[in-house]
Amino acid sequence: MKYYIIAGEASGDLHASNLMTALQKLDSQAQFRCWGGDLMKAAGGEIVKHYRDLAFMGFAEVALHIRTILGNLSFCKKDILYFKPDAIILVDYPGFNLRIAEFAHKEEFRVIYYISPQVWAWKKSRARKIREFVDKMFVILPFEAEFYRKYDYEVEFVGHPLLDVIQRPSGYIDREDFIRKNNLTGKPILAILPGSRKQEISRMLPVMASLMARQPDYEFLIAGAPSIEPEYYYKMLGVDPPVILHDQTHEILNYAHAALVTSGTATLETALHRIPQVVCYKGGTISYQIARQLVDIKYISLVNLIMDRQVVKELIQYDFNADNLSHELEMILNDNWRKVILSEYEQLIARLGGEGASARAAKGIFDFMK
C-alpha cells in the first residue's frame, strides 16, 4: 500500500520512522512519501519536506510566517493528489495536520492519526473536528482515550513509543567509552536539553548554561538538536561553552546525574531514563500571554500531566531564571529528594502501556486498511 506520512518535528520523525519500520514487516509492498526528517528517510521514506523547514512555534512566530505555512499547506494538498495514497498518516503537528485531515477527508482519502494533538490542553472543540475528519486515531497517553470518549469518539491506546527506544539500551557504549569517545573529564554529568527549535533554544540555553559556574564539580553536556548546526549554539554561548553532542541525547541521559529540560517530549524521555530533572519553559511575551488565556491544564510537562500531580518542578516564563534554576537543581542533586522522584518515575512508567507501541499501532493501521 501507499502511505503519505506527515510529521513536523524531531519527535514525530523518530516515532514515524519506527512506525514505518513496523509497517514494512506487515506490508512488504509499503511505499512511503513523507514530510519528516532523516530518520524517516533512513526507514525508507521519500522526503518531500524536511521538518526543519516547518518548525514555527508560538502564536507570534506562526503569524510572522503565515505565508510560508499557507504555501506549505497548498503544496501538500497538491502533492497528496499527485501521489494518491491508500492512507494518509498524520503524526501530531496539529496546526498543519488538522487542516490536511479536513482536506483529505473531503477528497475521500483514508485519514489515520498517530499521536494525538494535545487538544485536551486547549481548543478542546477540535476533538469534534478530529471525530469528523479522522477515520482512525491511535493515542499514546493513557488519559487520552477517556478524553475522546467524552466526545463520543473511540480511539485506540497503543502505549508510548518512547518505551521501545529507551528500554532497550543494547546499542549504548559503556560510560568509560562514552567519556573517552567525547573527550570528557569524567566528572558527574549534568544534561542540558534546550529544545529542538531555534526560537526556544535561544531563550532557554543561555540561562541553563549559566549554571556551569555554580556547579564546578559537574560536567555540563548539551544535547544538540539534529536539525540545528553546532555553530548556532557556539554563537550564543561565547567562549568556553559546555560540550555540545549531536545525535547522542539518549546516551547523554543514560549517563547523566540530573538534567535541565525544556518542556516537551524530552521531559518524558528524561523520566524514562530515570534521571531527576527540572522542567523549563519560556516563550515569546505575546505568545505566552495568549497561551495563558487559552491553555486549560495544570501542568506543562508530560511527566506531571500523566501522573496528574507535580513530580518534577516546572519553571515557566518569569520563574525561569538562573537563581530559581540553580535552587531547583540543588534540590534534585540531594539524595533524599532524588529517591522520591525516582519512585514516582516507576509509577509513571507502569502507566505507559509497556513496550511495543509502534508494532501495535502498525498492526492497527494494517488491520484497519484491510
CB-CB contact of 282 with 58 (8 Å): no
* pLDDT value for 157: 97
d(CA 127, CA 188): 45
Average pLDDT, the chain: 90
**With 0-12 CB in 10 A as exposed, 13-18 as middle and 19+ as buried, what is 80?**
buried
Q: Could you tell me the pLDDT band of residue 285, with boundaries at 50, 70 and 90?
A: low
188 three-class SS? coil
Can you say whether residue 109 is alpha, beta or left, with left for phi > 0 and alpha for psi between -120 and 50 degrees?
beta
Are 2-165+355-369 and 170-350 equal in CATH topology? Answer: yes
pLDDT (mean) for 1-22: 94
Query: 341: which residues sit within 8 A by CB, 6+ positions away?
Result: 276, 311, 312, 332
Q: How do the domains of the chain map onto residue ranges?
A: 2-165+355-369, 170-350
d(CA 290, CA 180): 47
* pLDDT value for 298: 84
pLDDT at 71 over 90: no
* pLDDT value for 291: 59
Strand pairing class (45-50; 87-91): unpaired
pLDDT (mean) for 211-224: 95
CB-CB contact of 142 with 120 (8 Å): no
Task: Report, at the CATH architecture level, how domain 170-350 is classified.
Answer: 3-Layer(aba) Sandwich (3.40)
DSSP state of 32: E
Q: Could you tell me the pLDDT band of residue 20, with boundaries at 50, 70 and 90?
A: very high
36 three-class SS? strand
* pLDDT value for 171: 59
Per-residue pLDDT of 121-159, as tens digits, reads 777 888 999 999 999 999 999 999 999 999 999 999 999
DSSP state of 62: H
* Residue whose cell numbers read 483514508: 110
Percent of the chain with pLDDT over 90: 73
Strand spans (E) along 134-235:
136-139, 156-157, 189-193, 219-224
pLDDT at 53 over 80: no
Beta bridge partners of 243: 221
* pLDDT value for 196: 85
Per-residue pLDDT of 185-202, as tens digits, reads 999 999 999 998 888 899
**Fold assignment, 2-165+355-369:** Rossmann fold (3.40.50)
More confident residue, 53 or 153: 153
pLDDT (mean) for 65-92: 90
d(CA 8, CA 98): 12
pLDDT at 309 over 60: yes
Query: 108: which residues sit within 8 A by CB, 6+ positions away?
Result: none
pLDDT at 332 over 70: yes
Q: What is the pTM of this model?
A: 0.82
Farthest CA pair distance, the chain: 60
Comparing 20-24, 151-155, 233-237, the range with the smallest average pLDDT is: 233-237
* pLDDT value for 297: 73
DSSP state of 306: H
